[in-house]
A = this chain, B = another copy of it.
């Protein structure tokens, strides 16, 4: 992982420990985080293309505006589970989710 990228991610609230604090190595941490950021970006894109506010999405999935904001921000406190469930609730299908995961994070 490049130092610049590491600093960018740490600025978002992610923390990196030594290898075994997480699961596996640093490269895997990076892959996981990028994957999450990809889904976060897709969520924002999808929500905006539907013309929804974060509050509307929150109501749709039975959550709160703040959590939707955190999902889109790639906050470490949100799980990939929740991101995927939310995307599915917005009509994104499995195949599209898969494509987003395979692609690099744009942010």
Contact = CB atoms under 8 A, between A and B. Distances in A.
Interface stretch (A5-13, A48-56, A98-106): A98-106
Interface in A73-107: 79-81, 84-86, 88-89, 93-103
Interface in A1-23: 20, 23
B84 A80 contact: yes
Interface residues of A, number: 30
Interface of A: 20, 23-24, 28, 31-32, 34-35, 60-62, 79-81, 84-86, 88-89, 93-103
A93 B32 CA distance: 10
Contact of A84 (B35, B95, B102, B103): B35
A52 to B, nearest CB: 14
A44 B35 CA distance: 21
